[in-house]
Structure formats: structure tokens, C-alpha cells
């Protein structure tokens, strides 16, 4: 075959000899029809080796014809490249790449969906500093190399610099990398953007626009139509870009982090224990940048062990300094985002380090900064946008562990000690004040907040109050610890007192023993001895109901009983005996529990404590159930229901007594095998018990329904109630006997 002076002419001749149209050659080779047409007409450069190989395969070339075409194209490319160095090559990929399987799959699927005439797919890869966005993009580009045969280009937009690259400069770099002559590149930025779109429309190229600062920087660089792909990486989500796929990269999963460490330091990792590898991965926050730095440090210090590095990183004050090697460091990566924040957002970022819990919401951030909740929310979203905070659910936020350490360092370095102290006290005071108001929703004699309440969170319903207490539990509990350590004894007692009735609804929360241990210790330092008795009793309740330390609970309650006797306070004696009765009943000592409840009921009646009187009636009924005296238990529980209606019982304990009495009346009816009556009673009280929220009584209600339906032959209905009973017992931390009853009844259905 005679050599031709034009590659385009040669390509056209070969295509015609193969009997192919441009469209058929495009389909066979994967090279766009527009690109083939431009080659044949001499409007584009000689193709890259991958493109040439795809065309040669589609044309069926082999032997000398293929070799001559390859050699001719190589010489033409060399000639055209003299004096014009190419730019835009992808950065060096890393050998040790782990994880990101779902994200890679999503990007590949989206990236191969483009067509010559449709819009070019665009993917925005975003995430916090150090999460590996560039590494991910380069690795994905490598996997897609065969798809984008006309080239893969990269440009660092320097989005974290003080002066990011402007779009005009980025356009020039991309056009030159695409072999557009510098003399042909337009001076006007808009015209330059049009040139880039025109070139990319004809080519199957992948563009990596790395480290983008903003939507305005990226928009002019995006192609219009074409079968290419654009991958944008940014610390921001770039929410203003329309019609793009966003892939957020979180830190690696623990198993992936361990895998990356082992890949980075193979020989050392082989000698390390799994616990040491997992410890280093955890202390690195599973952040790829931190993991790579840790691996590099180990590789450069062969005398170190994984356990040695874990010990060094375990010191929180030194961890950020330890995660630095050469010109790489975790702290500088965070500092680049911090530097981009306006002053108020910087102040919020560092002051959020005061938050003791794992997560928080806008009102707490507003307290720390002295702003309104709406302004605080805007600043929190700015921190999320830059990857310095992680959103949690609808309206809460949290730090990555290493970013929290960075915020703490910024707080120490940038704010004087007296300012830090004042901010911390303001946060603690607000948390405890709000906790008291929320907890009192459930206290007899309180309910809704006072008319002059001007809190930052809405507490106008009991549901909202309970929700706040639950989601902010870690934070207000930490504030309570701080108040106890600071000697604010009355404040500690006031918070615990406000939680008394609320804690009955939330017995499965694991910290009531600590709350009431703090309050009883605080009350012992105050002059009012009756407060001390009350909070010793609360502590006894928590030890039994929440901690299952029944002997400790009974001992505390009897201490309170003796102290109340010394003061002549029969009301507190009644309370103490009631808590002792609970401890003995939970331990299975029903006879002693029955004595305690009966004596406590007599004392409560003589003291005129109607709330306690009906509660002791419930205790008597439950102790009788434990003794197997079900007829007597049913009669006692029905007496409780009558007494509740005739005595001036406060609303909250009245509701509790009514629900619990009816729940265990259904239980007693089931034990007596009065199945229809058990179903009728349980069905009637089910809505009220569900609204009451205590999980264990609700579990007993479903247990009674399940047993009754099973006895009456309604197997599937019985199964549903028994499964639900087991779930409620497990979630509510019920004692094993209750859970076993549900399991046994469920197993009996399959016999």
C-alpha cells in the first residue's frame, strides 16, 4: 500500500476498503463518529496510541499495514509536537488503593452513559480534606482508560489557594493540552469556553477538574454535548451546578483502613497484631491522607512497630503533629479550609470544640457564638460545604475526630483563656437550664414551660421536650458532670429532680445511675437533709431498674429509710420502702417485696401522699403476680384504678398508674387463662400504653395478647404480638425472665 501524505486520506481509504461507513467504524471502534470525520478531513491531530489501536482493530488491520500505519502516525505526532510540550497529564496514580467500590461503580455507570449528541456527563466528587478525592478520581480515570480513547486530561484548579486559578487560565491550559495552537486560542474567556466545547464535542475525552473552588470557576470548563466525561473534585458540594451526579466520599470503613495500612507497610503489618493495626486506623480517623502519612512514617522508621505508632497517636494533644511527614500533614490540609472561612464562621468552628457530645444542632451552636439560630444554621452549612463538619440526619452536625482536634487547637491558640471559660460556662448553663424545663414537662405540678420561657428550642409539647432530652442527652449529661465537678450542688440536684418522672419513661437509657449518684452526692453537701433522702432513693431506683444491681439498690433504699426515720419524715420512709420493694421484686424476693409495698402504702396513706399510695398499690399487685396469686393481683390492680379516680392524684402519676394497672391486669387475666377478657383489656389499653412510651410494660401487653391469641388458635396474630413483645423487652432492657416468657410462647407456636 502506497504511503499517503495525509493521515486523514489514509484513514478514509482504509475505511472504504473495509466497506465501512463512518458510523459503522465508530460503533466498531468506540471512537466517536465526529472524531473520525474530523480526522479524515484533517481537522484534528494524529490520534493517540489507544485511539489508533481501536481504529486498526475495527478496520481489521494486521501485519505490515498495521505496523506502517502505527509508525506513520507516531512520526506525524512527533513532528507536530516539536516546540509544543503537552500539558494536562493525569497525576501519578497510587498503587495501594482500597475500597470505594460502590462509588467507583456509580461513577463508571454514569461515565459510560454519554453519547455523541447528548450532554456530556459530569460527576462532582466531594468530601472533607484528606478523604482522597484526587486519588479516587485518578484511579477511576485509570479504570476508564479504554473508554476515553481520545485522551484523559487533568488540571489543578487550586481551589484551596488564597487565589484559585481563574477559569480563563484553566481554559487556556486545557485547549493547549488538546493541541489547539496558542495563536488560535481566543482572548475572550467566553469565546475560549466555546472553543473548548467545540473541541470536546468531537473527541471522547475524560477531564479531571481537580480541587475546584466554586461553581463559577467550573462552569466555563464544562463541555456541552459529547461522549466524554468530566470528573470535578472539590471540598465543596458545588450545589449550584445543575444536571450533575454528586458522589460524596466519607472516611474509609474500618476494614478498608486496616487494608490500606497493611498495603502501605506490608512487612511491618505482617508482624503487627490486628488490634494494633485497627488502633492506628481508628486513631487516623479512617482518613486516607492520615493513613498514608502513618504508613509512610512507619516505612521510613523500620525500628518502629505498629504498636509504637498507636501509642504515639493515642495522645490527643500530639496526634495532629504525629500525622505529618515531609511536606504532607493532616493539620495543613484542614488549615486550608479554615482559612477560607469568614470571621464569624471561623469563630463558630473553633467554639464548637466546646461541645462535649458527639453531635449537636443549631441552637447549641448559637449559644456558643451569641448569634441567632438562623444565622448559626447558615454558618454550620458553610462548615459542611467546606468539609469541616458532617451533617447527621435532618438538622444535626458532627466533627470528624481529627477535625475536632484541629478545632480544639484553633480554640486554644486563637482565644484567651477567660473567653474560653466564659463560652464554656454559657453553654453549660444553657444546657442545664433547658434540661430542667424539658424534664419538668413530666413532673406533677409543672408541665408546659412558664410563660416567660424564651429558650432557643421549642418545648411547647411534651413530645418536643422528650425529643430534645433524647437527642441532646450526651451534651446535657456532660454539662451535669461539669456542674458537679465545679461544686454547683443545687444546680445538679435541680436537674436530677426535674428528671424524676421523665426517667420512668426512659428506663432503658444507660446513665440514670450516674445522674442520681451525682445528685445524691451533691445533696449530701447541702443543708436540706430531705433532699439527700430523696436523691438517695432516686439512686436506689436507678441501681435496680437501670443497673440491675439489686443488692446495692436495696441497701441504698434502706439507708434512706433509716435517715428518714431519724428526721421523722414518714413520706420519705414510704418512698424508701417502695424502692426497696422494687429491688427485692426484681431480684425475685417477692415475699419481702410484698411486705415493703404494703408497709410503704400504709405510710404514704398516713402522710397524705396520694401519688405514692397508688404507686404502692401497683407494687402490691406486681408482687402478687410474682407469687402466683393472680386472683389477688387482679383485685389489687382494680382497686388501684378505683383509688386513682377517687384520690387527688396528680396528672402524670395518674396516667402512669392507670396504664400500668391495666397492662398488668391483662397479664393477670392471661395467667388465669381468661383469654377473651385478657384480649379485651389489652386491646383497650394498647393505645395509651403505646403513647406512654415505657417499653417493658408495652412488651408485657403484647405478651398477654400473644398468649391469648395463641390459646384461641389465632396463630399468626399471636406470632406478631410475641415477636413484638420480644423486641420491646430487648430494647427496653427487661429482665431475662420477661424475655424468656416471650421466647417460650413463640417457640410453642411451632411445636
Q: What is the pLDDT of residue 231?
A: 97
Q: What is the pLDDT of residue 530?
A: 92
What's the CA gap between 322 and 16, in Å, rounded? 65
| More reliable by pLDDT, 437 or 269 | 437
Lowest mean pLDDT, pick from 79-88, 315-324, 551-560: 79-88
Domain co-membership, 744 together with 700: yes
Distances (CA, A) of 604 to 117, 510, 576: 85, 30, 11
The residue from 326, 361, 383 where one domain ends is 326
Q: Above 80 in pLDDT, residue 70?
A: no
Domain co-membership, 131 together with 216: yes
Provide the mean pLDDT of the chain: 89
DSSP code for 150: T
* Residue 698 falls inside a structural domain: yes
* Residue 296 falls inside a structural domain: yes
pLDDT (average), residues 123-133? 95
The enclosing H or E element of 1 equals none
| More reliable by pLDDT, 17 or 1 | 17
Which pLDDT band holds residue 36 (cuts at 50, 70, 90)? confident
Of 654, 626, 623, 625, the C-alpha closest to 640 is 654
What's the CA gap between 193 and 200, in Å, rounded? 11
What's the CA gap between 156 and 693, in Å, rounded? 55
* Residue 72 falls inside a structural domain: yes
Query: Which domain CATH number covers 219?
Result: 3.40.50.300
Q: What is the pLDDT of residue 249?
A: 95
Domain co-membership, 152 together with 225: yes
Q: What is the pLDDT of residue 78?
A: 43
Is residue 66 exposed (0-12), middle (13-18) or buried (19+ Cβ within 10 Å)? middle
Range of the domain at 736: 651-751
Distances (CA, A) of 473 to 440, 465, 487, 492, 535: 15, 12, 21, 15, 20
Domain co-membership, 150 together with 199: yes
Q: Above 60 in pLDDT, residue 167?
A: yes
Query: Which domain CATH number covers 362?
Result: 1.10.10.10
Q: What is the pLDDT of residue 651?
A: 86
Convert the pLDDT of each residue in 170-187 to its tens digit: 999 999 998 888 889 999
Query: Which domain CATH number covers 674?
Result: 1.25.40.10
Q: Above 70 in pLDDT, residue 371?
A: yes
Q: What's the number of domains the chain is made of?
A: 5
What's the CA gap between 587 and 600, in Å, rounded? 19
Q: What is the pLDDT of residue 80?
A: 44
What's the CA gap between 455 and 466, in Å, rounded? 15
Q: Above 70 in pLDDT, residue 79?
A: no
The residue from 306, 326, 346 where one domain ends is 326
| Residues 6 or more apart in contact with residue 17 via CB below 8 angstroms | none
Domain co-membership, 57 together with 123: no
Convert the pLDDT of each residue in 409-428 to its tens digit: 999 999 999 999 999 999 99
Cell numbers that stand for 477 in this block: 449529661
Which pLDDT band holds residue 56 (cuts at 50, 70, 90)? confident
* Residue 441 falls inside a structural domain: no
Using alpha carbons only, what angle is made at residue 330 by residues 419 and 234, rounded to the nearest 5 degrees? Answer: 100
pLDDT (average), residues 505-531? 94
Domain co-membership, 237 together with 208: yes
Q: Above 70 in pLDDT, residue 295?
A: yes
* Residue 727 falls inside a structural domain: yes
What's the CA gap between 103 and 58, in Å, rounded? 32
| Residues 6 or more apart in contact with residue 331 via CB below 8 angstroms | 320, 321, 323, 324, 406, 409
Q: Above 70 in pLDDT, residue 330?
A: yes
Lowest mean pLDDT, pick from 480-484, 631-635, 745-749: 745-749
Whose cell is 468531537? That residue is 202
| Residues 6 or more apart in contact with residue 336 via CB below 8 angstroms | 129, 160
The enclosing H or E element of 370 equals none
pLDDT (average), residues 91-111? 90
Of 595, 598, 554, the C-alpha closest to 576 is 554
Q: What is the pLDDT of residue 166?
A: 93
The residue from 248, 272, 297 where one domain ends is 248
Among 50-59, 189-198, 450-459, the range with the most confident prediction by mean pLDDT is 189-198
Q: What is the pLDDT of residue 743?
A: 87
Domain co-membership, 740 together with 714: yes
What's the 3-state SS for 419-471? HHHHHHHHHHHHHHHHHHHHHHHHCCCCCCCCCCCCCCCCCCCHHHHHHHHHH
Q: Above 60 in pLDDT, residue 276?
A: yes
Lowest mean pLDDT, pick from 59-73, 527-541, 555-569: 59-73
What's the CA gap between 47 and 118, in Å, rounded? 23
pLDDT (average), residues 615-639? 96
* Residue 510 falls inside a structural domain: no
Number of H helices, E strands in the chain: 38, 10
Which pLDDT band holds residue 711 (cuts at 50, 70, 90)? very high
Convert the pLDDT of each residue in 375-415 to its tens digit: 999 999 999 999 999 999 889 999 999 999 999 999 999 99
Domain co-membership, 242 together with 258: no
Please report the beta strands in 211-355, taking only residues with DSSP state E, as ranges in sequence order: 229-234, 245-248, 324-325, 328-329
Instruction: Determine the 3-state secondary structure of 100 from DSSP.
Output: coil
Domain co-membership, 242 together with 117: yes
Domain co-membership, 136 together with 152: yes
Q: Above 50 in pLDDT, residue 4?
A: no
| More reliable by pLDDT, 688 or 40 | 688
pLDDT (average), residues 245-269? 89
Query: Which domain CATH number covers 31?
Result: 1.10.260.40
* Residue 516 falls inside a structural domain: no
| Residues 6 or more apart in contact with residue 241 via CB below 8 angstroms | 122, 124, 215, 218, 219, 232
DSSP code for 225: B
Domain co-membership, 285 together with 337: no
* Residue 170 falls inside a structural domain: yes
What's the CA gap between 338 and 41, in Å, rounded? 52
Which pLDDT band holds residue 117 (cuts at 50, 70, 90)? confident
122 neighbors 241 (Cβ within 8 angstroms): yes
Q: What is the pLDDT of residue 72?
A: 57
Q: Count the helix, strand and coil residues of the chain and give each as a percent rounded to the nearest 5.
A: 65, 5, 30
Q: What is the pLDDT of residue 413?
A: 96
Burial 548-568 (b: 16+ CB within 10 A, else e): ebbebbbebbbbbbebbeeee
Domain co-membership, 235 together with 213: yes
DSSP code for 5: S
Amino acid at each position: 500500500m502506497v504511503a499517503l501524505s495525509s493521515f486523514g486520506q489514509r484513514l478514509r481509504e482504509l475505511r472504504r476498503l473495509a466497506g465501512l461507513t463512518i458510523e459503522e467504524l465508530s460503533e466498531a471502534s468506540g471512537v466517536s463518529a465526529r472524531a473520525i470525520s474530523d480526522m479524515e478531513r484533517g481537522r484534528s491531530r494524529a490520534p493517540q496510541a489507544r485511539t489508533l489501536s481501536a481504529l486498526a482493530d475495527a478496520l481489521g488491520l494486521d501485519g505490515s499495514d498495521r505496523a506502517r500505519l502505527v509508525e506513520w502516525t507516531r512520526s506525524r505526532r512527533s513532528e507536530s509536537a516539536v516546540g509544543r510540550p503537552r500539558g494536562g497529564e493525569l497525576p501519578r496514580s497510587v498503587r495501594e488503593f482500597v475500597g470505594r467500590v460502590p462509588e467507583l461503580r456509580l461513577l463508571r455507570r454514569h461515565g459510560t452513559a454519554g453519547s455523541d449528541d447528548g450532554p456530556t456527563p459530569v460527576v462532582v466528587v466531594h468530601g472533607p480534606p484528606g478523604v482522597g478525592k484526587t486519588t479516587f478520581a485518578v484511579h477511576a480515570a485509570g479504570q476508564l482508560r479504554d473508554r476515553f480513547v481520545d485522551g484523559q486530561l487533568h488540571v489543578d484548579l487550586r481551589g484551596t489557594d488564597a487565589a484559585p486559578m481563574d477559569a480563563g487560565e484553566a481554559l487556556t491550559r486545557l485547549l493547549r493540552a488538546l493541541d489547539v495552537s496558542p495563536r488560535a486560542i481566543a482572548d475572550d474567556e467566553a469565546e475560549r469556553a466555546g472553543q473548548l466545547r467545540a473541541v470536546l464535542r468531537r473527541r471522547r475525552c475524560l477531564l479531571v477538574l481537580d480541587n475546584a473552588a466554586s461553581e463559577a470557576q467550573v462552569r466555563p470548563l464544562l463541555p456541552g454535548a459529547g461522549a466524554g466525561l468530566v470528573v470535578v473534585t472539590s471540598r465543596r458540594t458545588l450545589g449550584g451546578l445543575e444536571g450533575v451526579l454528586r458522589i460524596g466520599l466519607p472516611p474509609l470503613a474500618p476494614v478498608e483502613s486496616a487494608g490500606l495500612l497493611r498495603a502501605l507497610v506490608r512487612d511491618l503489618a505482617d508482624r503487627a497484631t490486628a488490634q494494633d493495626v485497627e488502633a492506628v486506623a481508628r486513631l487516623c480517623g479512617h482518613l486516607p491522607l492520615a493513613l498514608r502519612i502513618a504508613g509512610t512514617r512507619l516505612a521510613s522508621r523500620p525500628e518502629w512497630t505498629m504498636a509504637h505508632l498507636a501509642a504515639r497517636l493515642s495522645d490527643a494533644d500530639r496526634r495532629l503533629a504525629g500525622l505529618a511527614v515531609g511536606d504532607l500533614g493532616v493539620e495543613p490540609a484542614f488549615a486550608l479550609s479554615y482559612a477560607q472561612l469568614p470571621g464569624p464562621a471561623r469563630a463558630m468552628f473553633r467554639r464548637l470544640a466546646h461541645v462535649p457530645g458527639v453531635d449537636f444542632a443549631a441552637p447549641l451552636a448559637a449559644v456558643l457564638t451569641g448569634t441567632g439560630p438562623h444565622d448559626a444554621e447558615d454558618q454550620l452549612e458553610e462548615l459542611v460545604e467546606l468539609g469541616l463538619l458532617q451533617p447527621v440526619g435532618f438538622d444535626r452536625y458532627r466533627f470528624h475526630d481529627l477535625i475536632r482536634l484541629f478545632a480544639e487547637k484553633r480554640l486554644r491558640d486563637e482565644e484567651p483563656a477567660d473567653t474560653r471559660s466564659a463560652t464554656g460556662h454559657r453553654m453549660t448553663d444553657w444546657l442545664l437550664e433547658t434540661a430542667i424545663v424539658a424534664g419538668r414537662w413530666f413532673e406533677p405540678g409543672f408541665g408546659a414551660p412558664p410563660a416567660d420561657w424564651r429558650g432557643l428550642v421549642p418545648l411547647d409539647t411534651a413530645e418536643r421536650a422528650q425529643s430534645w432530652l433524647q437527642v441532646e442527652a450526651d451534651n446535657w449529661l456532660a454539662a451535669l458532670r461539669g456542674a458537679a465537678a465545679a461544686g454547683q450542688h443545687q444546680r445538679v440536684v435541680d436537674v436530677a429532680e426535674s428528671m424524676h418522672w421523665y426517667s420512668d419513661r426512659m428506663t432503658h437509657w444507660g446513665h440514670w445511675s450516674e445522674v442520681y449518684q451525682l445528685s445524691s452526692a451533691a445533696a449530701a453537701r447541702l443543708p436540706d437533709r430531705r433532699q439527700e433522702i430523696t436523691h438517695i432513693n432516686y439512686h436506689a431506683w436507678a441501681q435496680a431498674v437501670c443497673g440491675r444491681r439489686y443488692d446495692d439498690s436495696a441497701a441504698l433504699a434502706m439507708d434512706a429509710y433509716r435517715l428518714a426515720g431519724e428526721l421523722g419524715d414518714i413520706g420519705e420512709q414510704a418512698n424508701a420502702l417502695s424502692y426497696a420493694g422494687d429491688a427485692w421484686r426484681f431480684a425475685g424476693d417477692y415475699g419481702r417485696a410484698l411486705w415493703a409495698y404494703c408497709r410503704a402504702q400504709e405510710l404514704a396513706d398516713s402522710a397524705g401522699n396520694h401519688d405514692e399510695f397508688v404507686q404502692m398499690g401497683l407494687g402490691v399487685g406486681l408482687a402478687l403476680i410474682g407469687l402466683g396469686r393472680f386472683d389477688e393481683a387482679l383485685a389489687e390492680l382494680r382497686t388501684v384504678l378505683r383509688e386513682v379516680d377517687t384520690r387527688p392524684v396528680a396528672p402524670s402519676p395518674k396516667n402512669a398508674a392507670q396504664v400500668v394497672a391495666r397492662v398488668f391486669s391483662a397479664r393477670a387475666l392471661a395467667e388465669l387463662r381468661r383469654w377473651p377478657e385478657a384480649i379485651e383489656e389489652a386491646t383497650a389499653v394498647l393505645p395509651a400504653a403505646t403513647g406512654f412510651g415505657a417499653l417493658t410494660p408495652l412488651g408485657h401487653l403484647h405478651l398477654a395478647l400473644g398468649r391469648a391469641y395463641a390459646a384461641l388458635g389465632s396463630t399468626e396474630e399471636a406470632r406478631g404480638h410475641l415477636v413484638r413483645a420480644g423486641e420491646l423487652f430487648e430494647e427496653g432492657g427487661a429482665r431475662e425472665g420477661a424475655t424468656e416468657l416471650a421466647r417460650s410462647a413463640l417457640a410453642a407456636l411451632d411445636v
